[in-house]
Amino acid sequence: MQGTSAKTPTAAGEAAAPERPLVKLDAGVMQREGAAAAPQVEPIIELERVSVRYDGKPAVRNVTFDVGSNLITALIGPSGCGKSTLLRCLNRMNDLIPGAVVEGKIRYHGQDIYDPEVDPVELRKLIGMVFQKPNPFPKSIYDNVAYGPRVTGMKGNLDEIVERALRRAALWDEVKDRLKDNAYSLSGGQQQRLCIARCLAVEPEVILMDEPCSALDPISTARIEDLMVELKERYSIVIVTHNMQQAARVSDMTAFLTVESDEHGVRAGELIEFGPTERIFTNPADPRTEAYVTGKMG
């Protein structure tokens, strides 16, 4: 599988990117400076007419868009429109759901990820996932981060790999003196950053985040949002969020989905609009997008 060549691991101890100031957008939502400019999308993942069914029942229909390299792409839309389903397609997590069938093409660096030659376990190392609720293992902080490198037999000094991942997840300073403590002794926000560190430890290229802040307080949420903006220097991120302010604050590109009926009256999630986040929130092309982002629908 292609894909690791673009990555240049750096030594532990690198400085975190400076926090970006917030700027006000016309729509009254706050967005970090830099995310406002219309970004160039150099695709790392391409979705082409992707449809998903569960036990024959359509959940998502004909979705086409590109996930840009080193950008944050937000998937937004009302409950049940298929955001999580679509996210799980991107690293074949739907393979683990009995009855789930994915159609269409998903290409990662141009390669069809559903090709029988592709090993989904290898794919998930390159396209990692962070879930809604922090889900650390009942192990020490160190062992949580070391878990992936150990089971995948990653080469290198394990202490350095753990430190690097914890630094990139902006958690090192808070845990460096308690690495042997159980992960459950951390706060919810720290646990979520630990899960991000666990994901980063195996050197992914893409991070999928399914409502990563929904179980967190506003301060922990702000830390994760800052972290996401720092991480995109090195990784490509796709985030599912119900929080439109969050999508507007952190993402560069936004895909808006909603449930629509086809000509036979069969309902499934469809992509209504995809584009630079600033435009989607301030000047959407479709009235359904406008209704959703202004809170009149969903």
3-state helix, strand, coil in the chain (%, to 5): 30, 25, 40
Of 81 and 238, the one with the shorter C-beta distance to ligand ATP is 81
Number of amino acids touching ligand ATP (CB under 6 A): 13
Of 85 and 221, the one with the shorter C-beta distance to ligand ATP is 85
- Binder to ligand ATP among 18, 79, 116, 155 (CB under 6 A)? 79
Which 19-78 positions form the footprint of ligand ATP (CB under 6 A)?
A: 54, 59, 77
Q: By CB under 6 A, which span of 26-34, 81-89, 183-191, 231-239 interacts with ligand ATP? A: 81-89
| Smallest separation, CB 50 to ligand ATP (Å) | 12
| Smallest separation, CB 222 to ligand ATP (Å) | 22
Contact indicator for 175, 190 with CB cutoff of 8 Å? yes
Of 15 and 96, the one with the shorter C-beta distance to ligand ATP is 96
**Sign of the alpha-carbon torsion through 152, 112, 75, 170:** positive
| Smallest separation, CB 273 to ligand ATP (Å) | 16
Q: State the DSSP code for 182.
A: B
Which 234-273 positions form the footprint of ligand ATP (CB under 6 A)?
A: 242, 269
Of 242 and 279, the one with the shorter C-beta distance to ligand ATP is 242
For residues 207 and 169, what is the distance between their CA atoms, to the nearest angstrom? Answer: 12
| Smallest separation, CB 242 to ligand ATP (Å) | 6
| Smallest separation, CB 197 to ligand ATP (Å) | 25
Q: By CB under 6 A, which span of 9-17, 82-90, 173-181, 201-209 interacts with ligand ATP? A: 82-90
Q: Give the pair of three-digit tokens for residue 30.
A: 């706050």
| Smallest separation, CB 85 to ligand ATP (Å) | 3
Of 83 and 193, the one with the shorter C-beta distance to ligand ATP is 83
Rule CB under 6 A: say whether 82 interacts with ligand ATP: yes
Cα–Cα–Cα angle for 232, 235, 237, rounded to 5 degrees: 70
Of 134 and 149, the one with the shorter C-beta distance to ligand ATP is 134
Which 84-143 positions form the footprint of ligand ATP (CB under 6 A)?
A: 84-85, 97
Site for ligand ATP, rule CB under 6 A: 54, 59, 77, 79-85, 97, 242, 269
